[in-house]
Chain A
Amino acid sequence: EDQVTQSPEALRLQEGESSSLNCSYTVSGLRGLFWYRQDPGKGPEFLFTLYSAGEEKEKERLKATLTKKESFLHITAPKPEDSATYLCAVHLGGAQKLVFGQGTRLTINP
């Protein structure tokens, strides 16, 4: 069965304290791995799509990387406004759907 697992479930950091969020997947036929940010009561906000092992993408304080089994979302010198739940999702070959992980709830304290 295709599975997407995110860790940790929750992470609390001090402002400026860099860290990484993990998304591991056991799927066949990965077409793309998507990262989203979700604020409470809001829809997921698209961040990145990664397609192949070794690929990296950056946006402001965020950098996403991909290996054959997992993806990392690195956050550098985070600010309180980076507090949100970060979701990863996989696009499987031949399908028009994303399979989501359960998310990592990130809290940045000032």
Chain B
Amino acid sequence: EPEVTQTPSHQVTQMGQEVILRCVPISNHLYFYWYRQILGQKVEFLVSFYNNEISEKSEIFDDQFSVERPDGSNFTLKIRSTKLEDSAMYFCASTPGLGLWAGELFFGEGSRLTVL
């Protein structure tokens, strides 16, 4: 069964360092997303991406964050100058061409980011 894959599964970094989290969405999906979940809290939307551009972003997704689809398969989230409060599980997700109107959103297993 096709799945969304994420790397790394766990990354530890020092405050102020840059981090790149990588995702391979399900092939033939066209909408890509990043969500995050701080320990013990709700899953929160960060950004959606379609046709090589951001289609929507939350207030959390400030200038510290950026997304990119560098090739035909990868989708990345970059966090510049990490802060302690960026420690969370980051989930990549994808849907087919209709986006959420397709009625399905498939998540990866997540990348746990720990900022020290």
Chains A and B bind each other: yes
Q: Are B105 and A46 in contact (CB under 8 A)?
A: yes
Please tell me if B18 contacts chain A, counting CB pairs below 8 Å. no
Q: Are B105 and A34 in contact (CB under 8 A)?
A: yes
Distance A89 CA – B100 CA, assembled complex (angstroms): 12
Distance A51 CA – B104 CA, assembled complex (angstroms): 12
Residue of A nearest to B104 (CB): A46
Chain A interface residue bracket vs B: 20 to 34
Distance A31 CA – B105 CA, assembled complex (angstroms): 14
Q: Are A101 and B109 in contact (CB under 8 A)?
A: no
Q: Are A96 and B31 in contact (CB under 8 A)?
A: yes
How many A-B residue contacts, CB cutoff 8 Å? 61
Known: A96-B31, A96-B48. A43 touches B91 (CB 8 A): yes
Residue of B nearest to A39 (CB): B109
Interface centre among B31, B109, B112 (most CB of A within 10 A): B109
Q: Are B91 and A31 in contact (CB under 8 A)?
A: no
Q: Are A96 and B110 in contact (CB under 8 A)?
A: no
Distance A49 CA – B105 CA, assembled complex (angstroms): 10
Known: A87-B43, A102-B42. A32 touches B100 (CB 8 A): yes
Known: A31-B100, A31-B101, A96-B31. A43 touches B108 (CB 8 A): yes
Residue of B nearest to A32 (CB): B103
Distance A7 CA – B108 CA, assembled complex (angstroms): 26
Chain B residues, CB < 8 A from A98: 35, 43, 45, 100, 105
Please tell me if A69 contacts chain B, counting CB pairs below 8 Å. no
Q: Are A43 and B31 in contact (CB under 8 A)?
A: no
Closest-CB distance, A10 to chain B (whole angstroms) = 12
Chain A residues, CB < 8 A from B99: 96
Q: Which residue in B58, B91, B100 is a CB contact (below 8 Å) of A91? A: B100
Closest-CB distance, A82 to chain B (whole angstroms) = 19
Chain A residues, CB < 8 A from B112: 41
